[in-house]
Structure 1
């Protein structure tokens, strides 16, 4: 049995679907998987299917201040290396580009380890503008046994910018599980709201500036649609724009099967990202894959990754210039109710061979 250690920092391990699917893939293949994590969520060992080692670090897993983040990641490096130094793992899976110094230390101190570096995101612009940091990053990138990227656009951008190639690399997009069509009931209140709503639109984690939350919700409500929103309830954002209405339902976080239920009942879903950072431009939206796997009509922005992902999808509309007026225009012109839903076959199990290769 291969011993695998996953190392990561995340706000909510219990809701990080990509991580949970990666762990499940290893477990399905018979690997013994441990998780070393800095997290902010309330998750005990009894609630988790893998051996959990929690690292409590300065500032927590996702502080807002940059100086606190830097101190926190250095603190995490030290704790992770101290933990792994005398452990017997065959594979170490490291999540996030910011872990570049940890990757470098692992290959230096334990060169026999197979290190997999999973780039959930791109490094921030300020990092890529530093010649000193990128030179160290390039060394770590070259020394890593396997580099994972969420999509080809991110990989191409990063390798072109750094003028570097990985020893071996794979693309693992955040596809849904094979049983993605399963549904689970919502709360009684949510079920009643949907039953009485008539036409409604599904939004997820849109209560933020970077996702055109105000413009989207306002335009939809003014167009006669009701809005079901899942994900973080950002009270500061709601108060700022006075987004309180009986036609806007805030469910909070839902599990995958509950999201399926809402997607199957909604008229369409909207996915916008402002193109004001690299990770926004080259976004990899798991909720897009989930909607496509159910054949749900989608309206998206013209981000290259969103457009590329939906190039062969049956029910997609791309909005180039996103504002309140243009959103109203596009939803009023199209009768989504008349569209026949044609699901796209997108399954996480497509990556089974890759996970098997890692364990060899």
Structure 2
């Protein structure tokens, strides 16, 4: 059985897609990824592959130039990308049995071709579109109605945590599964080095590797680390702030910028740091249901984490005492660091507590079983 995964970024990395695809390979499915390369002016390649534990994932890039976080300016590039997806899915209609659509910006081609060729599609909602992105007010209700229709039409729907049931409460999915953004422990259990150059100072080390954009308190945090040379920031990823962060890192010995890196290197950097953070702006509606990779990575690694109040995950962090939940401002972040440093003697107990929590409720082995059940059930429907 063949599965096509649709994603509106170039992958490389995309931890959730890579983990799900790796699981499906391990279950015996053949998996191919269709992805959007938005930096087509810098990269003319259209074919590639991703090495994962269970094999190799072929990837087909559609090169349509666009920027991340550009809102409605990306409408035409997105439309072209979707047309290219539909064209490929029509041309290769005999080469796949299931379409696994990631987010709203790939689900319409999945729905269209599933109806046209009697295929089954899974709608994997990483972020609920009207809450996560800048959709003009006059379009919001229309986009949401289409999204709800896509949810109701899908053979199965995946969401990233339990709280998002409320977010999609207007819909009636045929089958609903929760796949948390948990890391695969096999990425770190061997404790292998992956060629990351890392400082050997005794400074308190912090890690953030993810989307580099507004709504993450990143500019304020960069200012704090420029003022506190006794702390180290290890930051990487991609997004609109890339050049800004790189220029600051170039002029500060305590700020290390890694750019876009593979997931195994993300885990290695986080393992070598002391504290992680994932501070989302609570005024963004989607952030009330946030489920960042960083939270699960922190739990698996037994690292304390700093998050923002009012973002869903703050309750988990506070209830299980696995870090700090702060107001969304630089002063609160700075204060949290001071408090956590004073409490560092408790980190060993916290590590034990968080890893038990992770293994009981969030381990990727649990998510693996859910994904296996999902595809088994829709295969026989």
Structure 2 CA distance, aligned partners of 1:237 and 1:103? 36
| Residue in structure 1 matched with residue 243 of structure 2 by the alignment | 235
* Worse-superposed segment, 338-347 or 228-237: 228-237
Q: 1:221 to 1:332 in 2, by over 3 A?
A: farther
Q: CA deviation at 1:184?
A: 4.0
Distance 1:46 1:209 in 2: 31
Instruction: Describe the shift of the 1:136–1:324 C-alpha distance in structure 2 as closer, same or farther (beyond 3 A).
Output: closer
Shift of 1:18: 0.6
Which of residues 12, 18, 30 is equivalent to 1:14? 12
Partner of 1:5: 4
- Map of 2:48 onto structure 1: 45
Contact 2:217-2:330 at 8 Å conserved across structures = no
- Decide which of 88, 113, 121 is 1:115's aligned counterpart: 121
Partner of 1:26: 24
CA distance in 1, matches of 2:311, 2:70: 30
How many matched pairs? 347
TM-score w.r.t. structure 1 length?
0.84
Q: Determine which of 142, 145, 169 is the counterpart of 2:176.
A: 169
- Backbone CA RMSD of aligned residues: 2.9
Gaps in structure 1 of 5+ consecutive residues: none
CA contact (8 A) 1:93 1:116 kept: yes
Q: Point out the more displaced range, 115-124 or 220-229.
A: 220-229
1:353 aligns with 2:360: no
Aligned to 2:219: 214
2-structure distance, mates of 1:268, 1:64: 27
Alignment deviations for residues 278-328 of structure 1 (CA, whole Å, 9 cap, x no partner): 333332211221111011011211133222443553431111x23232222
Q: Are the equivalent residues in 2 in contact too, given 1:203–1:229 (CA < 8 A)?
A: yes
Q: Where do 5+ consecutive residues of structure 2 fail to align?
A: none
Give, in angstroms, the shift of residue 196 of structure 1.
2.1
In structure 2, what is the Cα distance between the partners aligned to 1:175 and 1:298? Answer: 15
Q: 8 Å contact 2:104–2:129 — kept in the other structure?
A: yes
Question: Which whole-Å CA distance do the structure 2 matches of 1:135 and 1:24 have between them?
Answer: 33
Query: Is this contact kept in 2: 1:146–1:169, CA < 8 A?
Result: yes
Shift of residue 174, structure 1, vs aligned partner:
0.9
Distance in 2, matches of 1:95 and 1:356, equals 17
| Counterpart Cα distance in 1 of 2:337 and 2:76 | 46
Q: Could you tell me how far 1:331 is from its partner in structure 2?
A: 2.0
Contact kept, 8 Å, 2:69 with 2:213, in 1: the verdict is: no
1:56-102 Cα offsets, whole Å, 9 max, x none, are: 34x35x55544552222322332222222332422111111123432
Q: Is the 8 A contact 2:207 2:269 kept in 1?
A: yes
> Do the aligned partners of residues 238 and 208 (structure 1) sit closer, same or farther apart at CA in structure 2, a change above 3 Å counting?
farther
Structure 2 residue corresponding to 1:73, chosen from 72, 78, 92: 78
User: Match for 1:141 among 151, 166, 169?
Assistant: 151
Q: Which moved more, 1:21-30 or 1:175-184?
A: 175-184
